[in-house]
């Protein structure tokens, strides 16, 4: 963020570089249950982000000493594929950034998954970023929620995630990669749509108190559309099995 010396214009004639308005999401497409072996899965395209998510479990916790006798343990791995970015070949395996994201994403699903139903077990959530174009963690959460739902594991809610940032004076929904690299602030969040409870919140950059609050509201407003896309994906997968 803040970016290098060659900062491009991010706002041209009141529109963003890709022609969107400030409160406009990129196109989102979700396919529920694309994978055969995983207990639940989802494939998501969010702008140029491409994310595959698979869920395994509940199954016996491994290693055994990490089992919690009162509830299921959720394990989450977010990872960017070495070929996922436009720049050079990435290192394989999770780096520090991925480790942190895996942790905060896990905490989202610890909230909504009814873990008390499965004491002593583990539920594995794998988020693989096949192509990254800004906002991969929010794309990953949105996909993982659908994957968990298709696995049949009971959840209190179907969370979504979205990011709101600032370009100059404009609060802006859903940065693409260029905006992500050169904007002034970014604030990813995950939300439970049932009561607008915020389950993931991170922010860096430079925002006033009011901009933080307005940004959260902007995320909630954009979320209505994301929730609908998630639900339609689940509906389509269900209808396909009943035909």
Partner 1 sequence: MTMDAMDTVKASHIRTMIAGNAREDGRGAYDFRDIKLTAGLLQNAEGSAQAQIGNTTVLAGVKLDIEEPMPDTPKQGNLIMSAELLPLASEAYETGPPSPQAIEFGRVVDRGIRHGNCIDLESLFIEDEKVWTVFIDLYVLNYDGNLFDAGTLAAMGALMNTKVPKVEDGEAVREDRTKKMKINNIVTSTTFAKIKDKIILDPNGDEEMAADCRLTIATDGEKVKSMQKGKSGGLFKSEIEEMLGTAFNKHKGLKDILESSQV
Binding-site ranges for partner 1 (CB under 8 A): 1, 3-5, 66-68, 96-97, 99-100, 102-104, 107-108, 110-111, 187, 192, 195-209, 211-213, 216-217, 220
Q: Is the dihedral of CA 90, 94, 100, 106 positive or negative?
A: positive
Parallel, antiparallel, or unpaired: how do β-strands 15-16 and 73-80 relate? unpaired
CB of 192 to partner 1, least distance (A): 6
Distance CA 186, CA 165 (A): 4
Q: Which one, 33 or 136, has the nearer CB to partner 1?
A: 136
CB of 164 to partner 1, least distance (A): 12
Q: Is the dihedral of CA 213, 215, 218, 224 positive or negative?
A: negative
Beta sheet of 160-167, edge-to-edge order: 170-173, 160-167, 185-192
- Two tokens, residue 56: 């395994």
CB of 185 to partner 1, least distance (A): 8
Parallel, antiparallel, or unpaired: how do β-strands 49-60 and 185-192 relate? unpaired
CB of 234 to partner 1, least distance (A): 22
Q: Which one, 49 or 111, has the nearer CB to partner 1?
A: 111
CB neighbour list of residue 65: distance below 8 Å, 6 or more residues apart:
none
Residue 153 to residues 190, 197, 224: CA-CA distances in angstroms? 19, 21, 23
Distance CA 197, CA 191 (A): 6
CB of 27 to partner 1, least distance (A): 27
Q: Which one, 3 or 34, has the nearer CB to partner 1?
A: 3
Q: Which one, 92 or 99, has the nearer CB to partner 1?
A: 99
CB of 90 to partner 1, least distance (A): 16
Q: Which one, 18 or 206, has the nearer CB to partner 1?
A: 206
Vertex 204: Cα angle to 201 and 207 (nearest 5): 95
Q: Which one, 24 or 100, has the nearer CB to partner 1?
A: 100
Vertex 182: Cα angle to 188 and 163 (nearest 5): 15
Q: Which one, 171 or 233, has the nearer CB to partner 1?
A: 171
CB of 197 to partner 1, least distance (A): 3
């Amino acid at each position: 963020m803040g970016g290098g010396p060659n900062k491009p214009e991010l706002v041209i004639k009141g529109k963003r570089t890709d022609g969107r308005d400030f409160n406009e999401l990129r196109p989102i497409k979700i396919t529920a249950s694309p994978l055969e072996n995983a207990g639940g899965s989802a494939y998501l395209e969010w702008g140029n982000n491409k994310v595959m998510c698979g869920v395994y479990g509940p199954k016996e916790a491994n290693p055994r000493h990490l089992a919690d006798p009162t509830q299921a343990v959720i394990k989450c791995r977010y990872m960017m594929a070495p070929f996922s970015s436009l720049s050079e070949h990435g290192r394989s395996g999770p780096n520090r950034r991925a480790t942190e994201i895996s942790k905060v994403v896990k905490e989202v699903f610890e909230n909504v998954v009814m873990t008390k139903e499965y004491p002593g077990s583990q539920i594995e959530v794998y988020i693989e970023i096949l192509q990254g174009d800004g906002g991969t963690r929010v794309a990953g959460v949105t996909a993982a929620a659908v994957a968990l739902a298709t696995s049949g594991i009971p959840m209190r809610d179907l969370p979504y995630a979205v990011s709101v940032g600032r370009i100059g004076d404009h609060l802006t929904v859903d940065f693409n990669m260029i905006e992500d690299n050169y904007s002034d602030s970014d604030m990813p969040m995950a939300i439970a749509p049932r009561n607008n409870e915020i389950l993931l919140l991170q922010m860096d950059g430079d925002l006033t108190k009011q901009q933080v609050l307005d940004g959260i509201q902007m995320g909630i407003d954009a979320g209505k559309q994301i929730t609908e896309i998630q639900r339609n994906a689940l509906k389509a997968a269900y209808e396909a099995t009943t035909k």
